[in-house]
Structure 1
Amino acid sequence: MSWINENCVSFFQLFCIKVVKTGRVPQHIAFIMDGNRRYAKKQSVNCSAGHSKGFDKLSETLKWCLDLGVSEVTVYAFSIENFKRSTEEVTALFDLARDKFNRLLDEIDQINEWGVRLHIAGNLSLLPEDLQVLVSKAMVATRKNNKLRLNIAYAYTARDEITRGASDLIKSVKANELNPLDINEDLVSQTLDLGTPELLIRTSGEVRLSDFMLWQISNTVLYFTDVLWPEFSIWNLLAAIIHFQRHPPLLKKTEEFTPSQQEFLKKLESKRWQELQRIIKT
């Protein structure tokens, strides 16, 4: 299946989307896509088939989010802790990722037409080298798109994300590029891979965060549902948004950065893009 399923919304569903859009719709939604393995067991198929169905559900969800006017979607695809799973399952997950990122590059004109920008959040150095190249190419190829930003947390945990962000700050202070007094909450947030979601949805009945976006979600509305991720429907998504509308988070005012903070962030962004280019050319 393509990255965006164009034919997954009926006329009645579009009508319901328009009704929900009369209220406040979260501009950044995060998903912990849990339940692929339980779905596979339920359907008496292997784990890789369950993960494949999970990707198909992501392609539908992206279309729903585009129709709702959501500007950023973050999904938890592969935790660093997942490396502890069986070699067979981890290999199957990497093979699925290779297939999907190759397909994305084949469909890049359509992806750019939809205006989807891809960002892979996580410790890319932990991935196989060929997969590092594929995800780097995908990020570079979609970097100018601005309708919907899709963040895929892959080889990710929040603790690792925060550790890497702190490391960037320490290096800049040691290099006299940043004054320690310039370090505040807003600057730390900008060093992280992921921004702050307004709504976080976890499927499969689990009510844990599993080391996902721990810094970012202090003001995020949380929604837990028993449905397994491959069975997640537009009605589940609309129910989550209605829950959000009943418990809207306060809009936080963003502080302006000082010139030295802006220079640090500019250099940090430049370094990250240079690293992607280095991976691609390796």
Structure 2
Amino acid sequence: MEEERSENMMSKLLVRLNSTARHLLFRVVSTGPIPQHIAFILDGNRRFAKKWNLTEGGGHKAGFLALMSVLKYCYEIGVKYVTVYAFSLDNFNRRPDEVQYVMDLMQEKIEGFLKELTLVNKYGVRVLFVGDIERLYTPVRVAAEKAMEATAHNTTTYLLVCVAYTSSHEIPRAIYESCEEKSGVTRVTMNGNGYGNGDDHEVGIKVVDLEKHMYFRVAPDPDILVRSSGETRLSNFLVWQTVNCVLYSPKALWPEMGLWQVVWGILKFQKNYKYLEKKKKQA
């Protein structure tokens, strides 16, 4: 009994020391500019499961735990928007049993999230599901809508979860809706500047028209795009929004992502900050 009490005290002490060290580290990092928005491609869950001989789906469960830690670190250091690429439209082409497993896991985690609303509201996290959410299986879509409604009043930090999303779907959809909005005119045109040629019966579509209809109109463009597992492909994710953005590809598989990957990504952003700001002003 005494030994167990000593172990618990030591465990609490280590947790407290770890928290103190982390906050000191964040204070040092915060002397430089902090990104407003970090986006993550969650790559490597299945490879992690294979690497550690986990049962099918074990990699996704480990990946969810990593996501919770990464979110905590981002919000603690002052990042306002965090976006995660949870499930692309292309993922629906995977084996039906794998798609079903991910959908079930997503529903389970969203419903678990809804049970922790007191803590979520304490930190002011607003959750937004971004993409063609009508494509989600009904129980997942209903749970996602409940999470968005339950956190709609929060404005301190934002978690954007990309589901049933690809840029090749988002961009044509934005063009179509822009055309629909201008459907009263004879013809809608686009040129390099986003304008028509000046004819009285033609109205051009501007960049601002497209961005008004993008799924990501709800957040500023990312400052950093992080893809785990060392891959450097965008995989049809935020192609429009990452023109002036730091791309960071740590070798860690997604379930292995943690504090140091977040810190290194921010340091890389700070190293390139002046150049990125110059490019944004020229855009």
Flag whether TM exceeds 0.5 (same fold). Answer: yes
- What's 2:6 paired with? none
For the 8 Å contact 1:199–1:244, the answer to whether it is kept is yes
**1:175: how far off?**
5.1
Residue type at the aligned position of 1:188: L
For 1:1-48, what per-residue CA distance to the aligned partner results, in whole angstroms no more than 9, with x for missing partners? Answer: xxxxxx796211211111001001101000011110000001101231
For the 8 Å contact 1:200–1:220, the answer to whether it is kept is yes
For 1:76-110, what per-residue CA distance to the aligned partner results, in whole angstroms no more than 9, with x for missing partners? Answer: 01011111111221111001011011112222222
**Is 1:105 aligned to 2:105, yes or no?**
no
Equivalent residue for 2:208, pick from 165, 179, 186: 186
Equivalent residue for 2:94, pick from 85, 95, 105: 85
CA separation of 1:151 and 1:254: change in aligned 2, threshold 3 A:
farther
**Is 1:237 aligned to 2:262, yes or no?**
yes
Equivalent residue for 1:14, pick from 20, 23, 28: 23
**Is 1:164 aligned to 2:173, yes or no?**
yes
CA separation of 1:226 and 1:143: change in aligned 2, threshold 3 A:
same
Q: Partners of 2:282 and 2:183 in 1: how far apart?
A: 27
Residue type at the aligned position of 1:172: E
Look at both structures and tell me which one has the larger radius of gyration over its CA atoms: 2
- What's 1:275 paired with? none
**Is 1:213 aligned to 2:213, yes or no?**
no
Which stretches of structure 1, 4 residues or more, deviate above 4 A after TM superposition? 179-182
Equivalent residue for 1:147, pick from 156, 160, 169: 156
CA separation of 1:69 and 1:154: change in aligned 2, threshold 3 A:
same
For 1:149-185, what per-residue CA distance to the aligned partner results, in whole angstroms no more than 9, with x for missing partners? Answer: 1111111101111122222212211157xx9747322
Residue type at the aligned position of 2:66: K
**1:236: how far off?**
1.2
Aligned sequence identity (%): 38
Q: Partners of 1:147 and 1:57 in 2: how far apart?
A: 22
- What's 1:76 paired with? 85
For the 8 Å contact 2:104–2:140, the answer to whether it is kept is no
Equivalent residue for 1:174, pick from 168, 183, 208: 183
SS in 1 for 2:243: helix
CA separation of 1:109 and 1:182: change in aligned 2, threshold 3 A:
farther
Residue type at the aligned position of 1:247: N
Equivalent residue for 2:46, pick from 37, 43, 65: 37
**1:253: how far off?**
5.9
Q: Partners of 2:265 and 2:167 in 1: how far apart?
A: 23
**Is 1:114 aligned to 2:123, yes or no?**
yes
Which residues of structure 2 form unaligned runs of 5+? 1-14, 189-201
CA separation of 1:13 and 1:126: change in aligned 2, threshold 3 A:
same
SS in 2 for 1:99: helix
Which residues of structure 1 form unaligned runs of 5+? 1-6, 256-282
For 1:193-220, what per-residue CA distance to the aligned partner results, in whole angstroms no more than 9, with x for missing partners? Answer: 1241011111101110000000001001
SS in 1 for 2:159: strand
Q: Partners of 1:94 and 1:119 in 2: how far apart?
A: 17
Corresponding residue pairs, total: 247
Q: Partners of 1:164 and 1:139 in 2: how far apart?
A: 22
CA separation of 1:182 and 1:145: change in aligned 2, threshold 3 A:
farther
- What's 2:34 paired with? 25
- What's 1:47 paired with? 56
